[in-house]
Amino acid sequence: MFADRADAGEQLAAALRERGVEADVVLAIPRGGLPIGRPVADALGVPLDVVVAKKIGAPNNPELAVAAVADDGTLWRNESIIGSYDLTDGYLESAREREQAAAREKFDRYRGDRPPLDLAGKRVVVVDDGLATGATMRACVQRVQAADPRAIVVAVPVGSPDTVTAIGRSVDDVVALEEPASFGAVGQFYRDFSQVSDEDAMAYLA
């Protein structure tokens, strides 16, 4: 169990250094990913930036991710759940427009007047505080892949074994410090998993 996100970030940074992971940029998924990303970026000696996605919940069950959309419109679809819910294209398109707008607003707010994100030919490490279903991470990975990077490594302190394996099929490497067989939720592996405010999260980018 990690004390908090700062502790998890330090442990993850040490593991990446030990594995010899090299990067040109670290991208954190706000908000919880930024306390993780700061020590990782510092340890690797590269800039810290953000990549943003919002999940799309099932009808009458918003916590169940049927898809996720990144700020640029990149969409990851959970085909097995979409099929079981028999969702209409209209439902998905409406939700996609709404959640993409929210993701874009957050992306712009966090980045402020920074230059446009240029990932072409770069080694990118994408971090978050954990992987449960991995919906937002998958959308973020697809968004990064569309920018033609040299390599993508996903790094998290803890993750569902099934999700870690699935995401590993689409990136160059996945580093997860813990993959508990009894995984229930990311927060159960932190003693302090209190919410990170936008103000605190953005401070890690300074």
Same domain, 105 and 177: no
Question: pTM here?
Answer: 0.94
Q: For residues 116 and 63, which has the higher predicted lDDT (pLDDT)?
A: 116
Same domain, 31 and 126: yes
Interval 70-113: pLDDT, tens: 999 999 998 878 877 777 778 888 999 999 999 999 999 999 99
Domain harbouring 85, CATH code:
3.30.1310.20
Distance CA(116)–CA(127), nearest Å, equals 20
* Average pLDDT in the chain: 95
Same domain, 173 and 140: yes
What pLDDT, on the 0 to 100 scale, is given for residue 80?
A: 79
Task: State phi, psi for 3 to the nearest 5 degrees.
Answer: -65, -50
Interval 114-137: pLDDT, tens: 999 999 999 999 999 999 999 999
Residue with tokens 């971090």: 127
What pLDDT, on the 0 to 100 scale, is given for residue 10?
A: 98
What pLDDT, on the 0 to 100 scale, is given for residue 139?
A: 97
When pLDDT is cut at 50, 70 and 90, the band that residue 59 belongs to is: confident
Which DSSP category does 189 fall into? G
Q: Is the pLDDT of residue 172 over 90?
A: yes
Query: Packing angle between helix 135-145 and helix 161-168, nearest 10 degrees?
Result: 10
- Report how many domains make up the chain: 2
Task: State phi, psi for 129 to the nearest 5 degrees.
Answer: -80, -5
Same domain, 153 and 175: yes
Nearest residue to 103 (alpha-carbon basis) of 73, 142, 79, 134: 73
Same domain, 103 and 91: yes
Same domain, 103 and 173: no
The pLDDT of 4-9, averaged and rounded, is 98
Same domain, 116 and 106: no
Q: Percentage of residues in the chain with pLDDT exceeding 90?
A: 86
State which residues form the domain around 73. Answer: 54-110
Same domain, 79 and 93: yes
Same domain, 138 and 118: yes
Cβ atoms 137, 29 nearer than 8 A: yes
CA torsion sign for 11, 193, 38, 20 is: positive
Domain harbouring 42, CATH code:
3.40.50.2020
Distance CA(206)–CA(192), nearest Å, equals 24
Cβ atoms 77, 66 nearer than 8 A: yes
Interval 142-168: pLDDT, tens: 999 999 999 999 999 999 999 999 999
Same domain, 120 and 174: yes
Which long-range CB contacts under 8 A does 37-40 form with residues at least 24 apart? Answer: 37/9, 37/127, 37/204, 38/9, 38/204, 39/6, 39/9, 39/10, 39/12, 39/13, 40/9, 40/12, 40/13, 40/16, 40/125, 40/127, 40/155
Same domain, 81 and 128: no
Same domain, 13 and 48: yes
